[in-house]
Amino acid sequence: MSKKLLSGPYIVWMVGFTLIPLALIVFYGLTDKAGAFTLENIMAIAQPERLNALLRSLKLSLVSTAICLVLAYPLAMILKSLKVGRGSFIVFIFILPMWMNFLLRTMAWQTLLDHNGVINNILRFFNLPELKIINTQAAIIFGMVYNFLPFMVLPIYNVLVKIGDDTVEAARDLGANSVQTFFRVILPLSMPGVISGITMVFVPALTTFVISDLLGGGMILLIGNVIEQEFTFTTNWNLGSGLSLVLMVFILISMAILAKYDKEGEGAAF
Amino acid sequence: MIGRFFKRFYLATIFVFLYAPIAALMVLSFNSSKYMSKWTGFSLTWYEQLFSSELIMSALRNTLVIALLSALIATVIGTAACLGINHMKKVPRTLMMGMNNIPLMNADIVTGISLMLCFIAFGVSLGFGTVLIAHITFNIPYVVLSVMPKVKQTEKSTYEAALDLGASPLKAFFKVVFPDILPGVLSGFLLAFTMSLDDFIITHFTKGAGINTLSTLIYSEVRKGIKPSLYALSTILFLAVLILLVIGNLPKKKNHEAIKER
């Protein structure tokens, strides 16, 4: 018996429940209700309301990805400098929040950020200006950063801990100062993790419909909300699939970039 | 030292950012008012109501059963797949790992929609079974990612030695190979279990009308005004998961130390 046969169930499963379903999205997206070929479902993205939703999603997800990167890189450096192992308590603390239901955590921010919420009460106590971000795009960015930050920290951390001290010391011995060491040695070596983190934050941020629902007060539509509504309210699957195909173009671009920079899968988060 | 102070301060700030909503939920679960914005006194009402709410209890049952079953099945399929992939040549192996990445990298909304379309197109009615299949589908790649590195590390020669000494292939596997890959299998199982527990988007599209998990129940209650019983439940669950993860991390730590000692 060949050992390769052990992969059989997995291959059958992936073909049946990953490849065929994806093929169905392509099929529905490129046909009308009668089953005839059409590009209308894809062209439907040009309608102003949908186009605005897509542009808004792109803007918010790019901004939140950038904020995540700026927050996560120093964090990963600090975690590495603590010289504690992968399964250690401190790293564990940064992963743990991911395991409380994210809908509830996001909702809790709704309460905390509210005009009369805890944060504004504290700010008022110190006579500081109040935060007025709930139900705005800023609140959605806040929610994205909150929910996806661990996905940026973990891959960067995983790559950073693999960079040996001897590499850094060699750079210093050869006369590089700490800024040069960072930009010419550490940063280039950590690129697989950075790219992996960027895709792992960008893709869910671009496609979310829950965060905009909870923190945007239901008034700010993202492309995820538009697609979700096509499937749950108007049940126009062809249109919904067509719009998903447009979305998948962006996902594929990020996957291609990741594949180019992270060939060995070094930047994997888990 | 300023640098050291800055490091501590930065870690603490991020820590507060990550845990503030969790603390808020835990505190609010003991609030006697049903409104989130006012604290009116300590009470255990929501914990009592929680256990008498059939709606919440059935959602909890579904969530746990689906998480457990999907993690178990995904672990079996995923571990077997790793053993098979390890014996493949370079090209099919790369192809398999590429396929493994699709559900990991794909947006949840696309995975959810595609599975829903598939079930409906083939006349499968949405319900418990479809949610279970969907969860197994997104769980297998996590198991493969956890188990694959351990399988790569196993030495072929020890397995062959066991065969030479007269063990059947099955016995040689369970006596020699399995103990080596067990840490990966366990962490894969835990990862799959927690991913399933936390999933909302894919469940939302594949669940149909009659069944709820905790995530979908919370989502539908957000519009009507959510009951603090759900905070009570999430507080209990968070503590449970905390304990689970502490246990799950123990073997990893030992393994880490073992490597150091070498």
Q: Is residue A13 part of a domain?
A: no
* A35-53 pLDDT per residue, tens: 778 888 888 888 888 888 8
* A105-148 pLDDT per residue, tens: 888 888 888 777 778 778 888 877 777 777 788 889 999 999 99
For residue B226, the chain A residues in CB contact (below 8 A) are: 107
Please indicate whether, in this complex, the C-beta atoms of A270 and B238 are within 8 angstroms of each other: no
**Kindly report the CA angle at A239 between A238 and A242, in degrees rounded to 5?**
85
Shortest Cα distance, chain A CAs vs residue B102, angstroms: 8
For chain A, the three-class secondary structure string (H helix, E strand, C coil) is: CCHHHHHHHHHHHHHHHHHHHHHHHHHHHCECCCCCECCHHHHHHHCHHHHHHHHHHHHHHHHHHHHHHHHHHHHHHHHHHCCCCCCCHHHHHHHHHHHCCHHHHHHHHHHHHCCCCHHHHHHHHCCCCCCCCCCCHHHHHHHHHHHHHHHHHHHHHHHHCCCCHHHHHHHHHCCCCHHHHHHHHHHHHCHHHHHHHHHHHHHHHHHCCHHHHHHCCCCCCCHHHHHHHHHHCCCCHHHHHHHHHHHHHHHHHHHHHHHHHCCCCCCCCC
For residue A86, the chain B residues in CB contact (below 8 A) are: 252, 256
Residue B86 has pLDDT above 70, yes or no: yes
Evaluate whether B199 touches B209 at the Cβ level (below 8 Å): no
Q: How far is A255 from B205, CA to CA, in rounded Å?
A: 24
Q: How many domains does chain A have?
A: 1
Q: In this predicted structure, what is the pLDDT of residue B258?
A: 42
Decide: helix, strand or coil at residue B168.
coil
Shortest Cα distance, chain B CAs vs residue A124, angstroms: 16
Look up the domain containing A175 and give its range.
46-261
Please indicate whether, in this complex, the C-beta atoms of A87 and B28 are within 8 angstroms of each other: no
Domains, chain B, in order of start with CATH, read: 53-261 (1.10.3720.10)
Please indicate whether, in this complex, the C-beta atoms of A96 and B191 are within 8 angstroms of each other: no
Please indicate whether, in this complex, the C-beta atoms of B85 and A240 are within 8 angstroms of each other: no
Q: Is residue A40 part of a domain?
A: no
pTM of the model: 0.85
10 Å CB burial of residue B259 (0-12, 13-18, 19+) is exposed
* Measured CA distances, A231 to A234, A246, B163, B252 (Å): 6, 16, 55, 43
Mean local confidence (pLDDT), B60-67: 91
* A165-190 pLDDT per residue, tens: 888 888 888 888 888 888 888 888 88
Q: How far is A145 from A67, CA to CA, in rounded Å?
A: 7
Optimal mutation site among B27, B113, B236, interface A, most CBs of chain A within 10 A: B113
Q: How far is A232 from B113, CA to CA, in rounded Å?
A: 10
Mean local confidence (pLDDT), B68-81: 93
Cα nearest neighbour of A68 on chain B = B14
Please indicate whether, in this complex, the C-beta atoms of A210 and B201 are within 8 angstroms of each other: yes
